[in-house]
Amino acid sequence: MNFRIRLASFFVAALVVMQGLTAFLVYRVTRSELIGEGQRQLDVAARAFAGQLDELSNRVSASVQVLAFDFALRSAIAQRDHATVVSALRNHGMRVGAKRMLLVGVDGRVEADTDGKFAPGAAFPFTDLTTRALEAPASAITAWEGRAYWVVVVPVSAPDLVGFIAAAIPVDDRLLERLQRQSALPKRIELATRGRDGQWHIVAQGGGDADVDVTPALAALSPSLATRPAVIEVEGREYVAQAVPLSHSQQSAPVAAVLGYSVDAALQPYRSVGAAWAVLLGLGLLVGLMVAFFIARSVSRPVEALADAARRIADGDDSVVPPSHDRGDELGQLSGAFSHMVQALREREARIRHQAGHDLVTGLPNRMAAEAAIGRALEASPSARAALLMIGLARLPEIINTMGHVVSDRLMADAAARIAPLAGDGLVARATDDEFSVFLPAATRSEAVSIALRFVEALSEPYRESEFTLDLQPAIGIALSPKHGGEASTLLRRAEVALLGAMGTEEPVALYDPTTDPHRPERLSLMSDLRKVLEGPGVHGELSLMYQPKLHLPTGRIDGAEGLLRWRHPVAGPLAPDAFIALAEETGNIRRLTRWVLGAGIEQAGRWQAAGDDLRLSLNVSARDLDDVDLPRRVAGLLAAHGVSPSRIVLEITESAIMGKPETAITVLRRLAEQGIELAIDDFGVGQSSFAYLRRLPVRELKIDRTFIANLAHSREDRAIVRSIADLGHDLGYRVTAEGVEDAYAVELLRDMGCDYAQGYQVGRPLTADAFLSLVSSTAGVEA
């Protein structure tokens, strides 16, 4: 139910309640007044009814007393002329309206009865009346034979008392109706007498509803019948009733007149007024409904308009114009306040959106806004060419650590001012704290490189302030669309990869190279697969060691091998160590991989030793392994488990592994050497070797890197370097091994230079353990 309907309903309901309440109050007041009027009328009627009875009693008494003075009647009584007495009584009774006339003797016995029901000598039932009649005529209402009679008794003297005449006048419906006609008595009069059962029984009724008896209801209210007006309900009708006790004989049951005033009948004249009022009420309600709807409409329309505008604004509709109402009331004030609020919200939201999408220092779009804009551009033209440049300032972290963020913020603002004019139509944004991104739609590779070089030139100019000058050292990575990706996030990530590559070289601009991307999906998949293969039972089936022979140049014999790890991937097939060794180091799995290599290699060396083969096996350990102080203990445990002499194992380490944490590495290496294990430096000559550390290492062998061996036959410089390394190694007491020997001429040159061992495809490719033993057997005893 909307606001308009609720408001209109409220008005109509209020109108209905008010009209109903008014009608109820009018009805209650009218009814109360009518009841009060009825009570007053009954009080007056009761007195009038009593007066009528007294007047009637006086007339009847006078009339009967005239009969008592009749000479003929007194003579008949004295003479005991029964027939004359009865005839006279009957004739006179008809004149006064008496139903029965009785002659009662002085002794209280009936001597004559016009109705013939009393036998001569029968006792008169109302002796108290004959006693009262000695002084004056006596009368009373009596209950006699189930009916009400008005009994009047007068004495008869001749001249002494000779008897009494009793006239029984019936008090019936006709008498009551006659009394009602003679005065303003109520329409309902009932004459009731109390029976032997204690209940009141109606013996006569005058006027009113024939099917309505008031007396029982009044008796239920008060068993003795209330003598004051009381409100009763009879058969669904409301009456005001009052009992008037009547004078009666002591030998008769009590007799009372019950007067009834019908409230419903009194209300009847007001029915038409009520009907007219109901019609007016209906018309008033109809008009009120129309007026209420009009008022509700005029009130609710601006409120509904404001609610609709608020709802649309909450749903993000920025085009909503708040409704304006030129009115001076509260609704106009509410509309004005709402309009001001909406305007303030829009301004605040615009500032928030701008701040959310822009960098506060440079004023450029931030990474989130740039990514969204680039995404929209790529979606609009998925196959169109575009370039994304990621510009980094290599020295910014150092500047922040040295001079703080205040200077770095000014520096970045200056860099943004240099970049923006050169970008043309490109989108310039601040990607990170020390990087900018520039999106160049429709740019080719050459155009992107050309613009990148202009950026480098602009940023190569040092940043100057009054106290200092700072070199920015810019570098730029480039990713092309759709070649390197069709999504904004992909281009940003790959441009960052290219930037990292540019920062690691002397060239300031680098193009994204998928082969060097450490975040390639297939590389991530290999990380997961490598972890599974090291944790699962399939490690022995997928990982294996191949053995590359080492030729002892002075004797021409193969007396050792280098164990090379191979991974047969279930999907990608055989993988070279370069494809997953670095991956294992990045994921922290290199130590577990080294443990497997050491275990498999020492186990094989144990089999060769048990078979009597005098062979030495070289195994590689990484820089991460040299951080593990438990490595010597684990190697000693493997040697003991497989019964291998420490002299048959050579552990190869790279120069960079030693230089990372030299003190820890030297400690681990010395513990290994103390166990009798020989150590060799792999890829010697291309790392960051320090002769200060070299002389402290317990090393027994130097392995010259293959870069010096590949062009040995054609490069005088390489021959000089190899000869120098061989001489240096021998002077320090080391064996010298040349790696990457690919031709026989190189073998002869190495032998002439004094190298001890040669290793490479010319000597033998990596072989299985059985194939390696066959090769060893074929060269046994052969001199170089």
133 in a structural domain: yes
**In terms of domains, do 98 and 201 share one?**
yes
Q: Which residues of 663-688 are buried (b: 16+ CB within 10 A; e: fewer)?
A: eebbebbebbbeeebbbbbbbbbebe
More confident residue, 533 or 601: 601
pLDDT single digits (tens) 673-708: 999 999 999 888 765 555 666 677 888 999 998 989
Residue at 116: amino acid letter? G
Residue at 121: amino acid letter? G
Q: Is the pLDDT of residue 226 over 90?
A: no
**In terms of domains, do 514 and 600 share one?**
no
More confident residue, 615 or 38: 615
Among residues 267, 297, 316, which one ends one of the domains?
267
Mean pLDDT, range 291-316, rounded to an integer: 72
Peptide bond into 482 cis (omega under 30): yes
pLDDT single digits (tens) 714-728: 889 999 999 999 999
Q: What six digits make up the tokens of 446?
A: 């050459």
Q: Which helix or strand (DSSP H or E) is residue 242 part of?
A: strand 237-245
> pTM score > 0.75 for this model?
no
DSSP 125: S
CATH code for the domain in which residue 478 is found? 3.30.70.270
290 in a structural domain: no
The answer to whether the CB of 359 falls within 8 A of the CB of 430 is yes
Q: Which helix or strand (DSSP H or E) is residue 726 part of?
A: helix 716-731
Q: How would residue 783 be classed by pLDDT, with cut points 50, 70 and 90?
A: very low
User: What is the pLDDT at residue 48?
Assistant: 75
DSSP E strand boundaries for 49-183: 100-104, 110-113, 138-144, 147-157, 161-170
Q: How would residue 533 be classed by pLDDT, with cut points 50, 70 and 90?
A: confident
The CA-atom distances, in angstroms, between 431 and each of 79, 149, 457 are 155, 125, 20
**In terms of domains, do 575 and 598 share one?**
yes
Mean pLDDT, range 164-180, rounded to an integer: 81
319 in a structural domain: no
Q: What share of the chain is helix, strand, coil (3-state, %, to 5)?
A: 50, 20, 25
The CA-atom distances, in angstroms, between 212 and each of 188, 200, 242 are 9, 15, 15
322 in a structural domain: no
User: What is the pLDDT at residue 689?
Assistant: 52
Selection from 761, 699, 756 nearest residue 559 by Cα: 756
Q: What six digits make up the tokens of 239?
A: 């009456």
**In terms of domains, do 515 and 531 share one?**
no
pLDDT single digits (tens) 553-563: 999 999 999 99
User: What is the pLDDT at residue 319?
Assistant: 66
* Residue count (the chain): 784
User: What is the pLDDT at residue 531?
Assistant: 76
**In terms of domains, do 405 and 540 share one?**
no
CATH code for the domain in which residue 55 is found? 3.30.450.20
pLDDT single digits (tens) 742-771: 999 999 999 999 999 999 999 999 999 999
**In terms of domains, do 510 and 554 share one?**
no
302 in a structural domain: no
Q: Is the pLDDT of residue 613 over 80?
A: yes
Most confident range (mean pLDDT) of 217-231, 556-570, 632-646 is 632-646
**In terms of domains, do 481 and 530 share one?**
no
Domain range for 97: 33-267
How many domains are contained in the chain? 3
**In terms of domains, do 497 and 608 share one?**
no
Q: How would residue 633 be classed by pLDDT, with cut points 50, 70 and 90?
A: very high
**In terms of domains, do 604 and 738 share one?**
yes
Selection from 686, 681, 687 nearest residue 732 by Cα: 681
489 in a structural domain: yes
Q: What six digits make up the tokens of 482?
A: 């759709």
| Number of neighbours of residue 417 by Cβ within 10 angstroms | 12
The CA-atom distances, in angstroms, between 511 and each of 136, 448, 457, 492 are 151, 10, 18, 13
**In terms of domains, do 730 and 586 share one?**
yes
2 in a structural domain: no
User: What is the pLDDT at residue 619?
Assistant: 95
The CA-atom distances, in angstroms, between 244 and each of 289, 455, 760, 773 are 55, 126, 148, 148
Helix and strand totals (H; E) in the chain: 26, 26
User: What is the pLDDT at residue 313?
Assistant: 73
Q: Is the pLDDT of residue 594 over 60?
A: yes
**In terms of domains, do 483 and 552 share one?**
no
Among residues 478, 500, 519, which one ends one of the domains?
519
Mean pLDDT, range 118-125, rounded to an integer: 86
**In terms of domains, do 561 and 678 share one?**
yes
446 in a structural domain: yes
Of 12-26, 456-470, 479-493, 540-554, give the lowest mean pLDDT range.
Answer: 12-26
The answer to whether the CB of 445 falls within 8 A of the CB of 465 is no
CATH code for the domain in which residue 769 is found? 3.20.20.450
Among residues 519, 549, 577, which one ends one of the domains?
519
